[in-house]
Amino acid sequence: MSGINKEYLRRFLKIIGIIFIIFLVFYILILLPTRRMMTGTFLPAPNLRQVERTFEANREEFLIISEYFLNFDFDSFGVSSQSVFDFSRYNDAFIELSVWLEDDNIVVNDEAVSYAIQRIFDIGYRGIWQSGSGIIFTRWSMKDNARGIIYSIDGRTPDEDMILFLTELHPLSEENWFFFVENFSEWRRGIRPEY
């Protein structure tokens, strides 16, 4: 009997091992890349304190990017972490950006700006774009919800011209910089930021 039990135990452990390996391969090939693209699904939404900490730690990069895009020739643009092609793999320090709404691509040929954009994406931001008179850095998004930082180009307090479903807004330590929350469900119920 003990020989039969050992045989069943070996088969059972072999099956468990195979299931573990299949799950590990599935996780590495499917879930990890998906997690990077779908920030809201696997990662909790950051709060004001977390976003403010990353802003303070990376203030120079945010300022470099916003200053660069203030002088941008396009009326509107958008860059997502998935649309950046990093030429540094080919011993070049520049980043190609897909510019939304203009159906064009440009190459950022300023090494400091390229580095700053890559750094912002490396710390978890998923998109940079201009909406109205604001430059928006999206840290977290899921369906009609988003959180991040907005820079007001003209110095006025961001409103629904800059972020469509704006429900929460808090000034950051740098003038004209704000933490924002966009939430369609709350916005539909009439929740708006207090100014």
Q: Please write the tens of the pLDDT for every residue from 90-147.
A: 445 556 665 554 556 677 778 888 889 989 998 989 889 888 889 999 999 988 899 9
Q: Tell whether 149 and 90 lie within a shared domain.
A: yes
Q: Kindly state whether residue 97 falls inside one of the protein's structural domains.
A: yes
Q: Tell whether 48 and 33 lie within a shared domain.
A: no
Indicate if the pLDDT at residue 50 is higher than 90: yes
Residue with more model confidence, 182 or 69: 182
CB-based contact 193:182 (threshold 8 Å)? no
Average predicted confidence (pLDDT) for the chain: 82
Report pTM: 0.73
Could you list the residue range(s) of the whole structural domain that residue 6 is in?
2-37
Q: Tell whether 159 and 71 lie within a shared domain.
A: yes
Q: Kindly state whether residue 193 falls inside one of the protein's structural domains.
A: no
Q: Tell whether 74 and 137 lie within a shared domain.
A: yes
Q: Tell whether 19 and 109 lie within a shared domain.
A: no
Q: Tell whether 147 and 62 lie within a shared domain.
A: yes
Dihedral-angle region of residue 186 (phi above 0 means left; psi in -120 to 50 means alpha; beta otherwise): alpha
Q: Tell whether 118 and 107 lie within a shared domain.
A: yes
- φ, ψ of residue 39 in degrees (nearest 5): -60, -30
Q: Kindly state whether residue 194 falls inside one of the protein's structural domains.
A: no
Q: Chain centroid to CA 168: how far?
A: 18
Q: Kindly state whether residue 26 falls inside one of the protein's structural domains.
A: yes
Q: Tell whether 165 and 147 lie within a shared domain.
A: yes
Query: Structurally, how many domains does the chain consist of?
Result: 2
Q: Pairing between strand 127-131 and 134-142?
A: antiparallel
Tokens encoding 67: 């200053």
Q: Tell whether 98 and 19 lie within a shared domain.
A: no
Q: Tell whether 17 and 85 lie within a shared domain.
A: no
